[in-house]
Amino acid sequence: MHAFELSRDHQEFRASVAAFARERVAPFAHEWDRAHAFPLDAVREMGELGLFGLTTPEHLGGSGGDLTSLCVAIEEIGRVDQSLGITLEAAVGLGIAPLLRYGTAEQQERWVPDLAAGRALAAFGLTEPGAGSDAGATRTRAVLDGGEWVLDGAKQFITNSGTAITSLVTVTTRTGERPDGSPEISAVLVPAGTPGLTVGPAYDKLGWHASDTHPLTLEACRVPEENLLGVRGRGYAQFLATLDEGRVAIAALAVGCLQACLDAALVQAREREVGGAPIGRRQAVAFQVADLEAWTTTARVLTHRAAAMVDAGRPAAEVKQAAATAKLVATEHAVAATRVATQLLGGYGFMEEHPVARFYRDAKVLEVGEGTSEVQRLVLARGLGLPVDW
């Protein structure tokens, strides 16, 4: 078997998820997109299929699978609906993963089983109006008072934070100051419905219309001291470690977008005729489709490589480089692919009835979320030993 070829089990799993996506997602994706409707029933079906529990240990209600399995699932869901694909990616990569990696046994037992079953969703509150990748700019604060953390601040662009089944938001927050004057950043678990936690109106987004994204406000929001996640003062470092795997999963979502564009372009090249012959006979069209194939294959191999490195327990520094490479290449190719596919479809590609138009809108944020393309280049340059700063 080739180093990055999927195992038979992974291939069979891919086929089952692809069938679900074709039958239970694809027919409704356009409707969800137009209505800006979060597909709660589909999310619950995905939970019943075990997709949210893929990387969760069996004793917490999951299947004890690997990151490669999650990437396969995200790719196949994202191949028909990027909104549902990001819902899965964020729920597992940002919602469940920090609890599995840093949570206490009590925290895991309280929250993870429902999350793994798709009965609940968790979000991660990192980004603020003036802070994202820059930890020092975090303004949300938490102070201890009588055995409770009291949080005040604001978060924005938080996926899965306002659904009917959202149970938890993990918030990065200042909990003090280090000796050198830099902020001490920690992570605190804030249950949905906690007094003082306000979920703002859903954003009117360019794409990902059927995913759930809200701003959050915390005002004198009190949670127990034991809701600290992991080590005090290590919240941002914990998030960065979690983010490496999340970037691999985002790359998988981009692969789904690429494959969808290739699928649409092939149909057009074979069936659309000009002068009595399929347009695929024309070199200009054939070369564009060939580019889509090359981009899709490249992105998929890089994504599977990075996932395999995580699954094999390779050193964190190697995983970071592989994850950044996969995310950078896959997402930038995905954006380019939607432009090529839309061009090949001509007027049809400009019509909202065609999935390519939706993918065109959805793709851009792939270069932004969980670390922009510029951040990925920064990670790669630093990994090569270059003394680059912001």
- Residues with Cβ within 8 Å of 357's Cβ and at least 6 positions away in sequence, in order, are 342, 349, 350, 351
Measure the CA angle with vertex 42, ends 217 and 364; round to 5°: 60
pTM of the entire predicted model: 0.96
- Specify the pLDDT at position 142: 98
On whether the CB atoms of residues 356 and 261 are closer than 8 A, the answer is yes
What is the third-level CATH fold of 8-121? Butyryl-Coa Dehydrogenase, subunit A; domain 1 (1.10.540)
How far CA 354 is from CA of 17, 29, 349, 362, in Å, comes to 22, 11, 6, 13
Where along the chain do its domains lie? 8-121, 123-233, 236-383
Task: Kindly state the tokens that stand for 113.
Answer: 């089983």
Please identify every stretch of the chain with a pLDDT value under 50, giving residue numbers as ranges. Answer: 1-2
> What is 123-233's CATH number?
2.40.110.10
Rg (the chain; Cα; Å): 21
The whole-number pLDDT of residue 5 equals 80
- Fold category of 236-383 in CATH: Butyryl-CoA Dehydrogenase, subunit A; domain 3 (1.20.140)
In this predicted structure, what is the pLDDT of residue 324? 98
Residue type, 88: L
Looking at the annotation, which residues are catalytic? 370
Give the pLDDT of residue 390.
Answer: 67
The amino acid that residue 275 corresponds to is: G
Tell me which H or E stretch contains 40: helix 40-48
Residue showing tokens 């990065």 = 172
CA 99 → CA 122, 170, 176, 188, distances in Å? 10, 9, 23, 11
Q: Tens of pLDDT along 46-97?
A: 999 999 999 999 999 999 999 999 999 999 999 999 999 999 999 999 999 9
CA distance 84 to 52: 12
Say if 8-121 and 236-383 have the same CATH topology. no
For 312-344, the pLDDT digits (tens) are 999 999 999 999 999 999 999 999 999 999 999
Q: What local confidence, expressed as pLDDT, does residue 3 receive?
A: 52
